[in-house]
Amino acid sequence: MTTTPTAGRTTAVAARATELSKIYGQGETRVVALDRVSVDFRQAEFTAIMGPSGSGKSTLMHCVAGLDTFSSGSVRIGDTELGSLKDKQLTKLRRDKIGFIFQAFNLLPTLTALENITLPMDIAGRKPDKAWLDQVIRMVGLSGRLSHRPSQLSGGQQQRVAVARALASRPDIIFGDEPTGNLDSRSGAEVLGFLRNSVRELGQTVVMVTHDPVAAAYADRVVFLADGRIVDEIHGPTADSVLDLMRNLPGGNPQTPEFDVKGRTR
Amino acid sequence: MFRTALRNVLAHKARLLMTVLAVMLGVAFVSGTLVFTNTISDAYQKSSAKGFDRVDVAVQPEYQDSKGNQVGRTPELTQALLEKAAKVPGAASATGVVTGFTAVADKDGKLVGGDWQSAGGNYWGTEDPRYPLVSGHAPRGKDEVLIDSATAKRAGYQVGDTVRLSVDGPVLTPVISGIFTTDDGNVAAGGSLTLFDTPTAQALFGKKGTYDEIDVQAAPGTSQAALKAELDKALPAKLVDTTTGEQLADDQAELIASSMSSLKQGLLVFAGIALFVGTFIIANTFTMLVAQRTRELALLRAVGASRRQVTRSVLIEAFAVGTVAGVTGLAAGVGIGAGLRSLLGSFGASVPDGPLVISPGTVVAALAVGILITMLAAWLPGRRAAKIPPVAAMSSVHAKATTKSLVLRNTLGALFAAAGVAVVLVGTTMDTDSGQGAMGLGAVLLIIGVFVLTPLLSRPLIAAAAPLLRAFGVSGKLARQNSVRNPRRTAATASALMIGLTLITGMTVMAGSLQKSIDKMASSAIRADYVVSMANRGPLSPDVAKKIAASDGVTASSPLRNGESRIDGGTEFLTGVDGASIRELTDLKVTDGSFGVGGTRVVVDKDRAKEYGWSAGSRFTAHFEDGKAQRLTVAGVYEGNEMLNGIILDNKVLTPHLSDPADMQVMVKTADGASDGVKDRLEKTLGANPAIKVQDKQDISNEIAKSFTLVLNMVYGLLGMAVIVAVLGVINTLAMSVFERAQEIGMLRAIGLDRRAVKRMVRLESLVISLFGGVLGIGLGVFFGWAAGELLGAKMPTYELVLPWGRMAVFLLLAGTVGVLAALWPARRAARLNMLAAIKAE
């Protein structure tokens, strides 16, 4: 099930959404967050999801990652259809096949950096693969800080722990929700570098929601959402090409970013 | 500011609910106690006042103290005296009163009313205004009696039925000639009252031709005081004492009030404990509320609120919470008061009827306690709120809980605890009276010390549980770390539980040890198979001993007969026994001479021997109650106990000097030993008498155990309140923890911790905190129980510490159950948490 580092660029699909819809409320208060979205996330590919506030980009990621329920359509992770799964099975799927990186780091303050990294394996009751773990830790440059607690680490270091945690269990796919949203630009660049390296060198599949064209430029492919629909996509993006495209999106205006003072999209 | 504070109360309704509940329980306990005791004492007072309606002046015999070698005695109120009193100017009539114990059996032969509340008396003449007849007629002769209507109703008796009675042993089977009503307090409290005609009563109660009291009624126009003056003039002042009816009612009221006040104080102590425990929960809640609202409070400061205003807003919140808790607590307390009364009623001890008394004092106390306690507990958190810097409003991150150093706290705690242990230990070496004060002081110091030290103790003690928790995988590991995350909060939560369990365990250890030692004392010294006594521990007729001695299968028996004597100008109580049999019936350790009772040879216990300087062979003179003297020789010295002590002599010597011989017990040894058959035969011999108990050693043990169990169960029930309050505290703390860690829990769910594991994590945290409190409480309780036992046991040769391992395991289990139950709701909330919202939230 795991993607070996040697696996080259394949066309196998790691996750697929088909005709995916998510509707909140009923009648007059009805809001369509996702409107029959179909999208594939291929193995060993780094995909960024972009779009203006309220475009449904976070909702899309949450539904595909098994964090949220959807109204209709289907989502597959590997061979597993998510729509038919109960909460327990969904939890197991997230535990075994999916890695997460959140905007607010989301580490447990009571655990050391190493314990945080191995937490998903601890939950599953599995022993971590020592060699792989070492490789991941070396890659994110945390070797000297494994016994530190999150409160003793900087924001960038904390997010590197989060990246290592996502990579350590060799999930089929890693989802990042604004992983650089709370970081300064240098730390953000580091984290994005690790994610890209994990795709290029380790064959990891990564899907990331972001509002930042610079961050999106690290991806292999950028998918644009507006009003709950996929409106465009770019392969091999640059910050400029992303900006250009966003300018022409309905509701999009990168000059006055739609995110709040704390750098998050709402 | 006021509006802001009130808005906050409303905004945090659910969170404050626990606090309100905690305070409410305490207030309910306090006001319930006040309502109950006020109601009861009011009702008793009214019924006792009614009881003295028909007495204008009561003439009672004046006890003549022992003097020199003369045993004190009670002069007799003779018929002549009664006639004299009736003829005094201003007297309308005089009634002679005779009272005693009379047990009534119901149709199944069971005793009606409690052991202690079966009274008998005389019906005066053909129409006694004290006891209005409902049906039938006055009793005539020894074959007719009257019974009170409540007893008649309970036992299903009607006029014309034959009833089984016993006064001092022999069974009587008179016919019920009538049924009367009475406002007698004893009957109102569930006892029975049987009336005989006056000569019969005098004969049965051993007072031929005399009265216990003469009630004189004043003629119209004569005041009670005037009548009393006349009586004092006419009657021999040295022998009688006159009291007006008003005075009697007042004395009675005072007696009731004082007996109620000790009950009230006892109950209030438990209410105080519940409130004390509640204080921790309130302080905890407000601390957490303030922490959660850091940004909000900082914003208030930023827009210009002064520190004092911030503190005040927290206190206003506390005031509102306290008022709600006080009012609801008062309402609940009134319910508790009414409930307690009917509960007593259902136990058979019915209390006189009367309206529920809710005095203004009760209302004020309930509100004051509720409001003051809440505000007091909220004061420190309020001050902490004021210290929040305005800039905290701008920061997006949670203000980190200030990790103030625990060094000062630990030092203080260690000092208190060490001082407490030292004082308690010193207390155990003192004698019982002076040691009690020291022990109380030491206990308070030690509890405070442990309180203060709990945060420090939490780490090693909870770490000790780590191997167990490891079995639960990640949930266990996280639970352990979460439980020591905020040592102060964990400590406050666990302490609340600790208090209750300390007291419960301490009581159990002490009661268990005392019970064992009394049991041992009672049974180890007895060789007899059976001990026969009156149900009310009253005197037995000597006929009983005679009947037993003459019955089949009895190899040895001896009464324990009471006598009083003067020796060297001091009063000594004597125990008369059957000298020939007593050695076979008892097993007392003899330290000097031999246990030979017979003729003028007596045995004395060690205390007496020491006091008078006696040893085997010593001789002394005893002056009996009839004034005659007798030379006696000490045959031996024995070790006395609660049941047998003092001077033991042969009944052949003692009985001739007694005007009205009565036995406390009869010890019996049978050829076949103790068995149900033998017991049945003995009971039959005694006429299947409801008033007489035939007990073997096991029965005696059970009876001792029963009285201890009753007291313990009451204490458990009362301390249960403190435990319930502690449960609320655990729920509160967990709910707060879940709320604070929502983001973490959301993340854990996202990366694959399933709902069950999340629930388990919260439950285990709760379990760890509760068991921590439980272990501390049980540990302290055992220490206090041991120390108190050392103090009380010094006087008992058979005292030994009994550690109730089974009970202690139950208590620990109880603590664990508290933890699991308290976690039900918070764990559910944690598991149901909306993952996405939790992750996003900051």
| Nearest Cα residue in chain A from B479 | A110
| Nearest Cα residue in chain B from A86 | B754
Query: Residue B397: is its pLDDT beyond 50?
Result: no
Higher pLDDT, A260 or A11: A11
pLDDT (0 to 100) of residue B195:
92
pLDDT (0 to 100) of residue A5:
43
pLDDT (0 to 100) of residue A7:
41
What residues of B are in contact with residue A69 (Cβ under 8 Å)? none
User: Closest to A94 (Cβ–Cβ): which among B400, B746, B750?
Assistant: B750
Query: Residue A129: is its pLDDT beyond 70?
Result: yes
Confidence of residue B55 (pLDDT cuts 50, 70, 90): confident
Q: How many CB atoms lie within 10 A of CB B74?
A: 13
Distance CA B543, CA B562 (A): 15
User: Closest to A95 (Cβ–Cβ): which among B400, B752, B839?
Assistant: B752
Higher pLDDT, A181 or A117: A117
Query: Residue A9: is its pLDDT beyond 90?
Result: no
Confidence of residue B353 (pLDDT cuts 50, 70, 90): low
| Nearest Cα residue in chain A from B752 | A95
Contact B754 A108 (CB under 8 A): no
Query: Residue A186: is its pLDDT beyond 70?
Result: yes
Whether A207 contacts A201, CB under 8 Å: no
Best A64, A85, A87, A94 residue to mutate vs chain B (most B CBs within 10 Å): A94
What residues of B are in contact with residue A62 (Cβ under 8 Å)? 836
Mean pLDDT of the B87-98 span? 87
Mean pLDDT of the B76-87 span? 85
| Nearest Cα residue in chain B from A61 | B836
Confidence of residue B373 (pLDDT cuts 50, 70, 90): confident
pLDDT above 90: percentage of residues in chain B? 9
pLDDT (0 to 100) of residue A169:
86
Query: Residue A8: is its pLDDT beyond 50?
Result: no
| Nearest Cα residue in chain A from B483 | A110
Query: Residue B6: is its pLDDT beyond 70?
Result: no
What number is the ipTM of this complex? 0.81
Per-residue pLDDT tens digits for B176-192 = 999 998 877 677 667 78
How far away is chain B from the Cα of A122, in angstroms, using its nearest Cα?
A: 6
Distance CA B746, CA B758 (A): 10
Per-residue pLDDT tens digits for B696-727 = 888 888 888 887 887 788 788 778 777 887 88
Mean pLDDT of the B807-819 span? 90
Closest CA to A143 of A114, A163, A179, A168: A114
Mean pLDDT of the B7-26 span? 73
What residues of A are in contact with residue B472 (Cβ under 8 Å)? none
Confidence of residue A49 (pLDDT cuts 50, 70, 90): very high
Contact A108 B473 (CB under 8 A): no
Mean pLDDT of the B421-446 span? 83
What residues of B are in contact with residue A177 (Cβ under 8 Å)? 839
Dmax of chain B from CA atoms?
103
Query: Residue B270: is its pLDDT beyond 90?
Result: no
pLDDT (0 to 100) of residue B599:
85
User: Closest to A120 (Cβ–Cβ): which among B473, B482, B752?
Assistant: B752
User: Closest to B485 (Cβ–Cβ): which among A94, A110, A177?
Assistant: A110
Q: Among A152-166, B349-363, B459-473, B500-514, where is mean pLDDT lowest?
A: B349-363
How far away is chain A from the Cα of B410, in angstroms, using its nearest Cα?
A: 23
Contact B839 A92 (CB under 8 A): no
Whether chain B has a CB inside 8 Å of the CB on A94: the answer is yes
The residues spanned by each domain of chain B are: 1-54+246-396, 57-245, 458-524+697-842, 537-690
Q: A255: which DSSP letter?
A: T
Is B386 exposed, middle or buried (CB count within 10 Å of its CB: 0-12, 13-18, 19+)? buried
What residues of A are in contact with residue B397 (Cβ under 8 Å)? none
pLDDT (0 to 100) of residue A124:
84
User: Closest to B482 (Cβ–Cβ): which among A95, A110, A262?
Assistant: A110
pLDDT above 70: percentage of residues in chain B? 93
pLDDT (0 to 100) of residue A161:
92
Find the helix or strand (DSSP H, E) in which A162 lies: helix A155-168
pLDDT (0 to 100) of residue B9:
65
Mean pLDDT of the A218-234 span? 91
Whether chain B has a CB inside 8 Å of the CB on A8: the answer is no
Asked whether the CA dihedral B229, B235, B237, B239 is positive or negative, the reply is negative
Query: Residue B5: is its pLDDT beyond 80?
Result: no
Contact B754 A106 (CB under 8 A): no
Confidence of residue A11 (pLDDT cuts 50, 70, 90): low
Find the helix or strand (DSSP H, E) in which B716 lies: helix B697-740
Distance CA A116, CA A110 (A): 9
Structure tokens at B748: 């854990």
Per-residue pLDDT tens digits for B443-497 = 888 988 888 888 888 888 888 888 888 888 888 888 888 888 888 888 888 888 8
Query: Residue B840: is its pLDDT beyond 60?
Result: yes
User: Closest to B752 (Cβ–Cβ): which among A110, A111, A124?
Assistant: A124
Confidence of residue B542 (pLDDT cuts 50, 70, 90): confident
Higher pLDDT, B691 or B174: B174
Query: Residue A72: is its pLDDT beyond 70?
Result: yes
Confidence of residue B146 (pLDDT cuts 50, 70, 90): very high
pLDDT (0 to 100) of residue A3:
41
- Chain B positions touching chain A (beta carbons under 8 Å): 396, 400, 473-474, 477-478, 481-482, 485, 743-744, 746-757, 835-836, 839, 842
Distance CA B764, CA B336 (A): 35
Mean pLDDT of the B571-576 span? 88
Angle of helix B432-464 relative to helix B407-429, nearest 10 degrees, comes to 140
Query: Residue A266: is its pLDDT beyond 60?
Result: no
Mean pLDDT of the B570-577 span? 88
* Bridge partners of residue B58, in order along the sequence: B215, B243
How far away is chain A from the Cα of B840, in angstroms, using its nearest Cα?
A: 8
Asked whether the CA dihedral B146, B151, B153, B154 is positive or negative, the reply is negative
What residues of B are in contact with residue A125 (Cβ under 8 Å)? 473-474
Distance CA B511, CA B797 (A): 16
User: Closest to A102 (Cβ–Cβ): which among B749, B753, B839?
Assistant: B839
Contact B839 A125 (CB under 8 A): no
How far away is chain A from the Cα of B401, in angstroms, using its nearest Cα?
A: 12
Mean pLDDT of the A49-53 span? 88
Mean pLDDT of the B41-58 span? 75
Average per-residue pLDDT for chain B: 83
Per-residue pLDDT tens digits for B661-691 = 888 889 998 888 878 888 888 888 887 777 7
What residues of B are in contact with residue A68 (Cβ under 8 Å)? 836
Query: Residue B348: is its pLDDT beyond 60?
Result: no
pLDDT (0 to 100) of residue B25:
80
Distance CA A125, CA A169 (A): 12
User: Closest to B752 (Cβ–Cβ): which among A91, A106, A177?
Assistant: A91
Best A106, A163, A266 residue to mutate vs chain B (most B CBs within 10 Å): A106
Query: Residue A67: is its pLDDT beyond 80?
Result: yes
Query: Residue B385: is its pLDDT beyond 90?
Result: no
Q: Among A42-56, B119-133, B616-630, B713-727, where is mean pLDDT lowest?
A: B713-727
pLDDT (0 to 100) of residue A125:
83
Confidence of residue A261 (pLDDT cuts 50, 70, 90): very low
User: Closest to A100 (Cβ–Cβ): which among B400, B485, B751?
Assistant: B751
How far away is chain A from the Cα of B498, in angstroms, using its nearest Cα?
A: 26
Per-residue pLDDT tens digits for B147-170 = 998 888 888 899 999 998 888 777
What residues of A are in contact with residue B831 (Cβ under 8 Å)? none
Per-residue pLDDT tens digits for B225-264 = 888 888 888 888 778 888 888 888 888 778 877 877 877 7
Whether chain B has a CB inside 8 Å of the CB on A57: the answer is no
Whether chain B has a CB inside 8 Å of the CB on A72: the answer is no
CATH level 2 (architecture), domain A43-65+86-247: 3-Layer(aba) Sandwich (3.40)
| Nearest Cα residue in chain A from B486 | A110
Best A59, A69, A110 residue to mutate vs chain B (most B CBs within 10 Å): A110
Dmax of chain A from CA atoms?
57
What residues of B are in contact with residue A88 (Cβ under 8 Å)? 754-756
Structure tokens at B284: 């905890």
Contact A87 B744 (CB under 8 A): no
Confidence of residue B113 (pLDDT cuts 50, 70, 90): low
Predicted structure pTM score: 0.74
Distance CA B744, CA A66 (A): 18
pLDDT (0 to 100) of residue A45:
92
Confidence of residue B350 (pLDDT cuts 50, 70, 90): low
Mean pLDDT of the B755-760 span? 90
Compute the count of residue pairs across chains A and B with CB atoms less than 8 Å apart: 73
Mean pLDDT of the B786-811 span? 83
Best A101, A116, A123 residue to mutate vs chain B (most B CBs within 10 Å): A123
pLDDT (0 to 100) of residue A255:
43
Angle of helix B360-386 relative to helix B245-292, nearest 10 degrees, comes to 20
Whether chain B has a CB inside 8 Å of the CB on A165: the answer is yes
Q: How many CB atoms lie within 10 A of CB B488?
A: 17
Per-residue pLDDT tens digits for B301-320 = 777 778 888 888 888 888 88
pLDDT (0 to 100) of residue B482:
86
Query: Residue B40: is its pLDDT beyond 50?
Result: yes
Query: Residue A256: is its pLDDT beyond 70?
Result: no
* Numbers of helices and strands, H then E, in chain A: 8, 10
Distance CA B34, CA B361 (A): 9
pLDDT (0 to 100) of residue B641:
77
Is A198 exposed, middle or buried (CB count within 10 Å of its CB: 0-12, 13-18, 19+)? buried
Confidence of residue B20 (pLDDT cuts 50, 70, 90): confident
